[in-house]
Amino acid sequence: MPASAVVKIATYTGTFYDGYDTTGVFGTANTGLAGVGYVVTFTYDPSLGIRSTVAGYSDSSRGGVGFGYPGKSPVITSAITVNGTTKLLAGGYLGLVQTSVNGIKHAAEYSYNDGVDYAFKQISIYNYPVGAPTSLDQNFGPVAATGGWGSFAWYQTKVNPGAGPATDSAYADFNYDTVYSVSDLLPSGGVPEPANWALMVAGLGMIGGAMRRRAAIAASA
pLDDT for 123-162, tens place per residue? 998 888 888 888 999 998 898 887 778 899 998 887 666 6
Cβ atoms within 10 Å, residue 157: 18
| Torsion angles phi and psi, residue 67, rounded to 5 | -100, 0
What is the reported pLDDT for 186? 66
DSSP 27-92: SSSSEE-TT-EEEEEEEE-GGGSEEEEETTTEEEEEEBGGGTBTT--SEEEEEEEETTEEEEEESS
The answer to whether the CB of 131 falls within 8 A of the CB of 116 is no
What is the reported pLDDT for 159? 67
Mean pLDDT of the residues in the chain: 79
pLDDT along the chain (221 residues), means of 10: 66 93 93 94 93 92 90 92 92 88 79 71 87 88 83 83 75 89 70 42 42 43 43
What is the reported pLDDT for 126? 86
Decide: helix, strand or coil at residue 156: strand
| Torsion angles phi and psi, residue 115, rounded to 5 | 90, -15
What is the reported pLDDT for 11? 92
CA dihedral 78, 79, 80, 85 (to 10 degrees): 170
pTM of the model: 0.78
What is the reported pLDDT for 44? 93
User: Tens of pLDDT along 88-97?
Assistant: 988 788 899 9
The H or E element that residue 14 is part of is strand 8-21
What is the reported pLDDT for 40? 93
